[in-house]
Each structure stands twice: as C-alpha cells, then as structure tokens.
Amino acid sequence: MDFKFTEQQEMLRAMVREFVEKECPKHLVRKWDEEKKFPLEVFHKLMSLGLSGVAIPTKYGGMGGSIIDYAIVCEELARSGSWGLGSYFNAVVMYGADIILNCGNEEQKQLFLPKFAKGEMRFAYGITEPDSGSDAAAAKTSAVDKGDHFVLNGTKMFITLGDDVDYTVTLARTDKNLPKHKGLSLLLVDTKSKGYSAKPLKKIAGYTDTTCELVFDNVIVPKSMVLGGPEMINHGWELLLRTLEIEHLLVAANALGYAQVAFDDSLQYAKDRHAFGQPIGKFQAISHMLAEMAVDLHLARLSVCHLAWLKANDMPCYKESCITKLVATECWTKIALRGMEILGGYSLTMDFDMQRYLRDSFILLIGGGTKQIQKNMIARAIGL
C-alpha cells in the first residue's frame, strides 16, 4: 500500500482547503450554527468547483477519479467545522452519485449522474423508521404493486435533509410474502410527488441541516424508479449492503476532518492559555491528553486511508469498513470531549467551538449504524 497521495490528489486537497479558508472562516461557521441555517450560496460556490463529480466517470460528465478523491474532499470540508457544508455535499455524493453509480442501471446513471456531476441534484437516504433503526430489514413502509408503478405508504425517521432534496432513496417492502430480507426494494421517490411530506425535528446538534420525519401517503412511484431497475424489485437489501462500505468510508472521512479541527483548536488553546507562569500545554496532565488525542487521530487516519485504498482497488472490505466507521467516529467524540476538558470553563460558552464539535460528534456516532451495531457486524465478520 502506497501512503503517498498523487500530485492530483494533493492539488485537490489544496483546492478544497483554500475554499474552506476563504468561504468558511470560524466566525461565520459559528454564526451559521447560532442562526441554525447554512447559507446555500456557499454550497453553490462549492459545487461550481466541480467537486461533486471528481469520482464520476467522464462519460457521465465527471472527472473520472476514484473514491479516494471523494474521501479527501469529505475530510477537508469537515475541517471547516461546519456541519451543514459536509451534510449538503453528502446529499450530492454519498446518498446520490455513489448510490446511482454503484447500484443504478444504465438509464438511471444517464439520468442522474450528469446532474450530480454539476451539483444540481441532491438525494436523501430514507431507511430508518420510527420502530426500526438498526433493524432496517424490519421496515414497515409498504409499496403496493399497481402494474407500472407502486403506491407507497409509510413513515421514515431521522432523514437528513428530507425537506431539501430532489429524491429520497427509500427502503420499502414490496412483497410481504417473502422472508424479512427478501421482500424489500429501494425506490427513488421524487420529493415533489403528491403525498410526500417532510417535517423537520428539533435537535441538539447539526443545527445547519435538517433531520426530518417523512410521511408517504399514497405516493406513486414508477417502476422505472426502482433503484437498479425493475429487475431489482425485492432485491433492495442486496443493494443496501452494497452501499454500506462507501457510506462507512465517507462518514469516517467526515469524522476524521471534524476530529482534526477539534484537535487543532485544543492544541492552539494549550499553547496560548497561560497558568502559573507558563502555557498550560507544558503541564503533564494537559500534554498527555493532547498526546492521546494525537494517537487517536493518527490511528483513525490510517484506518480511513486503508479503507479508501481497499475500495479504490475493488478489494473486499466489509469488516474494515465497520472498523473504520467505529474508530473514526469514536475518535471525533473522544477528541472533542478531551478538548472540553482542556478549554475548561470556556468550552461551555458559545464563543468557543468545542461545545459544537462535541454536540455534532454524536450524529455520526449514532447515524449510519451505532457503535454497538458496528461491533456486532465486526464480530460476525470474524466468525462469532
């Protein structure tokens, strides 16, 4: 495994970092969080750079790069400390372009990928329900076959940007007579459809995006909008597992970026803050905390890089994807929590960002599969 990024990848990283420094200074990111709104003009500026198409094949209007490029972009955007910036990018890439690229049929690729490459379309991922989170296969949302279309009814919960996307990739039961994991399909639901509604939830983190309850009330979904085409009806679970490794990678890359900015802020504070005649970073209690944070960050980065390399080389990585998701998201929470201790009383004020880093860290610790579920999947992968 080569740990050196290509010249093009380093240029990509530098371009994203320059954008973040210019468009997302700390005082603005703090303002967006306080106002609980992310300015879409910043997102549109980001899309104008073509970053959403870096790993989309050139024949669909992309740059023809690899999943490593997407991971680089996700990490660098997260280093802005802005939850909304990363979330909106994920709606184009993680839940849009990558799902269509890996699971869509040719007709769907031609329809959607050029729009994703231009940043003109966003998807949400409608899997979780009020009564089934980790047990996604227990979905009660139903899609009744009506010939050339399905009629969709049900409720989804905790859906990111469910009120601000073009389509929702929705897991629904299309055959109640088949076993639990067999009668499911993934449907591409147009959010402009009659009977689709999204209600934002009040929450303590991720203020710069929305987390929604979705209701489908007799929503008509053409069979051409079954992910993978009509031949993939009742094969939604297979497609869901296919997307899991990429979701884990990009979630982990996000967590790595947020962990890095939390570490950077903690380190700078330890250098600037003086007590008893010296910087507090000179005290062993503080220096050891920062050393432990550096170790956690290093291990998380190695895990993310390894998983990205495995995916880019089409190698099996189910176990590694679960490990990386667990390691990187726990790293972010642990670093932010130690950062709160280092900043002391200032960490409890809205004038410092550490409280936001900690609050937001719980989103990825829970979303995309809790740490307990990751451990279950790792245990299964090692034969237990």
Residues 215 and 267 in one domain: no
Residue at which a domain ends, from 215, 234, 253: 234
Query: For residue 65, what is the domain's CATH number?
Result: 1.10.540.10
Residues 352, 128: Cα–Cα separation, whole Å: 33
Q: Which residues pair with 168 in a beta bridge?
A: 124, 189
Residue 241: HSE in the Cβ half-sphere, 13 Å Cα cutoff: 12
* Exposure class string for 80-101: b at 16+ Cβ within 10 A, else e: bbbbbbbbbbbbbbbbbbbbbb
Q: In terms of residue numbers, what domain contains 15?
A: 7-121
Element (H or E) spanning 114, and its range? helix 106-117
- The residues with which 116 forms a beta bridge, in sequence order, are none
Q: Are 45 and 56 in contact (CB under 8 A)?
A: no
Model pLDDT, residue 139: 94
Residue 33 shares a structural domain with residue 103: yes
Domain stop point among 234, 264, 298: 234
Q: Give the CATH number, domain containing residue 145.
A: 2.40.110.10
As for how many domains the chain has, the answer is 3
Could you give the count of Cα atoms lying within 13 Å of 161 in the half-sphere of its Cβ? 29
CA–CA separation, 351 vs 148, rounded Å? 56
- Tell me which of 82, 104, 121 is where a domain ends: 121
What CATH number is given to the structural domain containing 275?
A: 1.20.140.10
Q: What is the dihedral of CA 26, 32, 35, 40, to 10 degrees?
A: 160
Tell me the C-alpha distance between 303 and 251, whole Å: 12
Residues 338, 301, 329, 25, CA torsion sign: positive
The residue type at 316? P
Query: How many other C-beta atoms lie within 10 A of the C-beta of residue 350?
Result: 10
pLDDT tens for the chain, 384 residues long, are 777 899 999 999 999 999 999 999 999 999 999 999 999 999 999 999 999 999 999 999 999 999 999 999 999 999 999 999 999 999 999 999 999 999 999 999 999 999 999 999 999 999 999 998 888 999 999 999 999 999 999 999 999 999 999 999 999 999 999 999 999 999 999 999 999 999 999 999 999 999 999 999 999 999 999 999 999 999 999 999 989 999 999 999 999 999 999 999 999 999 999 999 999 999 999 999 999 999 999 999 999 999 999 999 999 999 999 999 999 999 999 999 999 999 999 999 999 999 999 999 999 999 989 999 999 999 999 999
CA 123, CA 202: separation in Å to the nearest integer? 21
2 is a domain residue: no
- Assigned domain for 165 exists: yes
Cβ proximity of 200 and 215 under 8 Å:
no
* Same domain assignment for residues 342 and 273: yes
148 within domain boundaries: yes
Q: Which two tokens mark 125?
A: 């991922």
Domain-embedded: residue 322: yes
